[in-house]
Amino acid sequence: MKRSKFLVMFMIIISLLMGIYSNFSRFNENNGVILDNDKLKSSQDSTLIFGVMIGLHDLDPHYAWDPNSFNVIEQVCEGLFTYNYSDVSNEIIPRLALDYGTWSIDGLNYTVSIKNNITFHDGTALTASTIKWNFERLFYLMNVTGTLPSELYASPLKMVYSWPDDTLIINRTEEIDPFTIRFVLNRPYGALEALLSFSGSYILSPSSTDPINQINPDTGDLVGTGPFMFESNTPGIETRLQGNNNYWRAPPEIDLLIYAIIPDTNLLNNALLSGDIDLLINPLPSFLEVFNESSDITVIEQKGRGWLSYYVGMNNIQINKTFREAISYAIDYNYIINSLREGIAERLKSPVPNGVIYSNYSLDFPYLNISHARKVMQSIGFGNGLTTDEDWEEAQFVAFNFTYLNVSSFYRSLFLLLKNNLSKIGIEILDAGLYDCHEYMYMLMGIPPFSRDRLQLFTYGWYPDFNDPSQLINFLYSNSTTSFNSAQYNGGFGGFEPYDKNNDVQLLMEKALNITEKSERKRIYNKIQKLMVERDYPVAWLFTPKLYVAFKSDLEGFHNHTFCTINEDNEASLKGDMIYLKWKTETPENGTENGTSIPGYSPVIFSVIFLVFIYIIYRRRNKIL
């Protein structure tokens, strides 16, 4: 009898110790907070840590113009329109708008109905007046009104919202009724829906936003209508967003979204291997193989999504069309992609990369063809009678300088490659590398005292602000402005066929921007791309970087609803709906979460069940005795 009582007391003590040990362990692991196992698992599963090299620069969408700021803003705020990120073509679709707007006959008015069941994070209702307030704030901060105090920094976005001659695209907004807004334009603008998808057109709460001052990224608050709510920003450390459980579409699966800043790219990639972060964009090529071999990490290539373009520019005034064609067919594009870019790029086959709407990759684009390049040179009297490679390389019929930033190993290697490639058609390349990025930028833009006349062959990249071909063609190749036409291309105004408007690139690009009918815009931009690629050769289109995302394998929902982009500085941003990201909840194969407990039972519950079992045995034994 005494032995039985001793056994029961012994088991009670063991059970209590198990429970105390279990809670003590969880107490230490969670910084002094005792959490239930199920709640702890849920908390861990609903937190996503997104690793980035650089934190946000601007918290205010009416100022922001960099991918690191877009990362945050595009999850907190929304515009009237957005892109269908589950579609490769990134079609523009309504977001805060009830549907697509309607155009007036003259193309000067665009009227949009607004969803009437949406509130900002602070409870303010979304109405036409709040949208009007936002665009008035944007125009004030861009100093369109001329009333911005001189001590305040004007928003750089005026360039995005203006025509090349500085005329504003949007003249004003008008509130038609509480849920209808009208955009009155200074002239027809076919890319308006794309402009309204740009983050500068995102809508902030008038109740929580200073109407005359920029939101401070360190101390301010960003209040929008999006799936996540801004919590805090610690410069150089992290930015934290809370899931919006009252989001009008559906609560996000992720409760806490953290942008963890890890400036060293090797440390950033290793952080994913060690499990310190859950997701990163644009991993180092040297890590891709390691990630692909890991069962804990998934790598996705965002095929057909590129917006960024890299070129070898050519001074169209100093280098005639025949030379430009020969040069375009003498470049070893495959070597650039596979060796210089380590395979992390794909060929750019048009002025419009394949992630931008109306891109046309079905053209007869230049490729490495030395035989064709030499025939082109011979057509203007260079190299006739030459038969061997040695003869061509010794000829040196003409010399062009190549300007690039000499701080980049890639551009230095590109210079050496071009020097080798073009020597095969008798063209000598002279090294004009620069170490001052500001000097180079001023030369590209023709800002005095620097001049584009010093540029003959040169390199540059371009990233559009929003998804429309006008952001590439009209900005980079229009002869009606000198701001960005670094190649000094003149594809129109009678430059080829004086009275043939259908083959005048300048007239076509202006027409496309004034047309609001989508199918007609597509037809025109297809024609523009064909004329530039197959006839004019204003630049040599090199490549667009491949886009990769690496993340923990138990994270799902990414590839169907988001995509990423990188700009010319290799900075990455994640666009789309992170609302759909969630953690898989499958039970591990060994039947336990950490190998020390039975699923669904804490040690305390197990102990109680065990005590009951011992008690029953004890009672039965007493009865028998």
DSSP states of 1-20 as a string?
Answer: -HHHHHHHHHHHHHHHHHHH
- Phi and psi for 583 in degrees, rounded to 5? -95, 140
Q: How far apart are CA 197 and CA 206, in angstroms?
A: 20
Picking from 304, 325, 305, 306, the residue whose alpha carbon sits closest to that of residue 314 is 325
Cis peptide before 449 (omega within 30 of 0): yes
Q: How far is CA 532 from CA 112, 222, 492, in A?
A: 36, 43, 11
309's torsion region: left (phi>0), alpha (psi -120 to 50) or beta?
beta
Q: How far is CA 590 from CA 584, 587, 596, in A?
A: 16, 8, 10
Given the DSSP bridges, would you call strands 398-403 and 457-462 parallel, antiparallel or unpaired?
parallel
Query: Which amino acid does the sequence have at 285?
Result: P
pLDDT tens readout for residues 259-290: 999 999 999 999 999 999 999 998 998 999 99
Picking from 306, 334, 407, the residue whose alpha carbon sits closest to that of residue 90 is 306
Number of H helices, E strands in the chain: 18, 23
Residue 458: how many CB atoms within 10 A of its CB?
26
Of the chain, the percentage scoring pLDDT greater than 70 comes to 84
DSSP lists the bridge partners of residue 398 as 427
Q: 275: which residues sit within 8 A by CB, 6+ positions away?
A: 296, 552
Helix (H), strand (E) at residue 275? none
Angle of CA points 84, 245, 58, to nearest 5°:
65
Residue 87: how many CB atoms within 10 A of its CB?
10
Tokens found for residue 91: 């079609």
Residue 272: how many CB atoms within 10 A of its CB?
25
147 near 80, Cβ under 8 Å? no
Q: How far apart are CA 352 and CA 468, in angstroms?
A: 9
Q: What's the pTM value of the predicted model, to 2 decimals?
A: 0.82
Tokens found for residue 306: 């590129």
Tokens found for residue 594: 């950490």
165 near 434, Cβ under 8 Å? no
143 near 154, Cβ under 8 Å? yes
Residue 490: how many CB atoms within 10 A of its CB?
19
Q: 60: which residues sit within 8 A by CB, 6+ positions away?
A: 214, 215, 217, 220, 222
DSSP string covering 411-422: HHHHHHHHHHHH
Judged on CB neighbours under 10 Å (0-12, 13-18, 19+), 574 is buried
What is the SS3 assignment for 162?
Answer: strand
Strands, E, within 446-493: which ranges? 457-462
DSSP lists the bridge partners of residue 540 as 312
Q: How far apart are CA 327 and CA 422, in angstroms?
A: 7
pLDDT the model gives residue 402:
98
Q: How far is CA 149 from CA 63, 141, 152, 164, 212, in A?
A: 16, 10, 6, 25, 10
Q: How far apart are CA 199 and CA 213, in angstroms?
A: 18
217 near 233, Cβ under 8 Å? yes
What is the SS3 assignment for 203?
Answer: strand
3-state DSSP: the chain helix, strand, coil percent, rounded to 5? Answer: 35, 20, 45
Picking from 592, 555, 622, the residue whose alpha carbon sits closest to that of residue 253 is 555
Report mean pLDDT in 10-residue bins for the chain, 625 residues: 42 43 38 34 70 95 93 96 84 96 97 97 98 98 94 93 90 98 97 97 98 95 98 97 96 95 96 96 91 95 85 96 98 97 93 92 97 97 93 95 92 97 97 92 89 94 91 88 82 59 87 93 96 96 93 90 79 85 64 38 43 46 43
Given the DSSP bridges, would you call strands 279-281 and 548-552 parallel, antiparallel or unpaired?
antiparallel
DSSP lists the bridge partners of residue 281 as 549
356 near 550, Cβ under 8 Å? no
Angle of CA points 329, 330, 332, to nearest 5°:
105
What is the SS3 assignment for 529?
Answer: helix
Q: How far is CA 33 from CA 18, 49, 165, 276, 597, in A?
A: 18, 21, 61, 21, 20
- Phi and psi for 93 in degrees, rounded to 5? -135, 155
Q: How far apart are CA 557 and CA 579, in angstroms?
A: 9
Residue 615: how many CB atoms within 10 A of its CB?
13
131 near 172, Cβ under 8 Å? no
pLDDT the model gives residue 479:
83
What is the SS3 assignment for 182?
Answer: strand
Q: How far apart are CA 474 and CA 509, in angstroms?
A: 6
Residue with tokens 């609560």: 251
Picking from 624, 619, 605, 318, the residue whose alpha carbon sits closest to that of residue 486 is 318
229 near 76, Cβ under 8 Å? yes
